[in-house]
Copies of this chain bind each other. A is one copy, B any other.
Amino acid sequence: MVTMSDVAKAAGVSRATVSYALRGDPRIAAATAEKIRQAAQKLHYNANISARSLRSGRSGIIGVAIYELDRPYPSEMSAAMSREIARRGYQPIVQQTSGSKDDEIMILQKVTSQLCDGMIFSPGQVSDEELRALSHGKPMVLLDDISPDPVFDSVNTACEDGSAAAVRHLIDIGCKHVVVVGPSYDMLLDDKMASSVVGRRMTGCLRAFEEAGVDVDASNFLPLEHWDPIPAREAAYRLLDSDDYRDADGVFCMTDTIAISFMRGLADRGVRVPDDIALVGFDGVTESEYAVPSLTTVRTDLDDLARRTLDLLIDRINANVGGVGIDAAGDAGDNAGDGLAFPDAPQRLTAAWELVKRESTRR
């Protein structure tokens, strides 16, 4: 391994000078800096991240921790985040939380919060308060976190407006009995109605029903225990087999993956989409465009999502630099939260989206 000392020796200067020069400190003479850069280049020098991180607390890495890397939406989102992180001059790393709480904690404790200058996290089981403790004062932006009393910045998908648009579209094309696949009707009574993704998407649906003058009951909702392909496919059988849903002619599935699996379930029974049942999904994954029939969906603009997320995160990272530098009196990060020179209130943004109309609702 070639270290800073090697570069210093090659350039005939001290280690300190190398450090300054490579980091672009203006105090170093241009000629010296150039000489040092060339020496570094020739030796294929690369700063040791562990050493830098140990000494300065900064690594140049931004971490993305996400649930289920093997599903289309999370993986396309991670890819978009990775690209945007790289574009901002940071190194992206992605981690899979697999949905278990221990896993999420482990990842944050062991890797992300230690190694990363900032984190992008899609919280599953861990509460905001726990996250605060796990973040070690490092900046973090949450995805689709709607907790009533937010601790971190977050960027959300357009749950309400998007879902409302989906249901409205089904009604517009003439559906008389629209069924929403995902939530249970009982959800209405749940106190998480306003603070969870499913609750907010359901709220959007209800708004659309109401605006269209449609009375809603349990037969407008087909609950899904897990938002996975197999239960979603079987949900289609349930819909077809139950008297409650027999005249259903329009279905809104809360994710594209559910929609595509549901569509497969309909195909298993020979039900035609959109002729017999029209179908709308949510997310706008690539797969939705290539399905047969292609899927109408509420597409989240992932590039916009990534851009907004990194705007927030990098602002916080830069703010932290100023803060940490003066931070001689221990880790004030926590207790000074409501004080002066400290971060403003958590922001909450929504990513751009659009309803993409395709064959599954073409009538």
Contacts and interface: CB of A to CB of B under 8 A. Distances in A.
Nearest to A264: B290
A51 B78 CA distance: 28
Contacts of A289: 229, 264
* A interface bracket (residues with beta carbon within 8 Å of B): 35 or more
Interface in A266-286: 267, 286
Contacts of A177: none
A164 interface: no
Contact of A1 (B50, B287, B331): B331
Contact of A114 (B50, B72, B75, B291): B50
A211 interface: no
B94 A110 contact: no
Interface string A21-64: 00000000000000000000000101011110110000111000
Contact of A290 (B80, B260, B294): B260
Contacts of A114: 46, 48-50
A261 B233 contact: no
B1 A136 contact: yes
Contacts of A264: 289-292, 294
Contacts of A292: 263-264, 267, 291-292
30 contacts: A1-B136, A44-B133, A46-B110, A49-B50, A50-B51, A50-B53, A50-B54, A50-B59, A51-B54, A68-B79, A69-B69, A69-B75, A69-B79, A69-B94, A70-B79, A70-B80, A72-B72, A75-B75, A79-B96, A86-B98, A91-B95, A91-B111, A92-B96, A93-B93, A94-B96, A115-B115, A229-B286, A233-B290, A264-B292, A287-B287
Contacts of A260: 287, 290
Interface in A68-101: 68-72, 75-76, 78-80, 82-83, 86, 91-96, 98
Interface in A97-151: 98, 103, 106-107, 109-111, 114-115, 133, 136
Given A1-B331, A79-B96, A110 B49 contact: yes
Nearest to A98: B83
Contact of A49 (B82, B96, B98, B111): B111
B61 A111 contact: yes
Contacts of A69: 69, 75, 78-79, 82, 94
Contacts of A229: 286, 289-290
Nearest to A73: B70
Nearest to A106: B91
A72 B285 CA distance: 11
Contacts of A133: 44
A51 B53 CA distance: 9
Contacts of A106: 91
A94 B95 contact: yes
A358 to B, nearest CB: 11
Contacts of A331: 1
Contact of A95 (B49, B93, B115, B294): B93
Nearest to A114: B49
A80 B75 CA distance: 13
Nearest to A61: B111
Chain B CB within 10 Å — which of A48, A68, A103, A290 has the most? A290
Contact of A115 (B1, B50, B76): B50
A54 B48 contact: yes
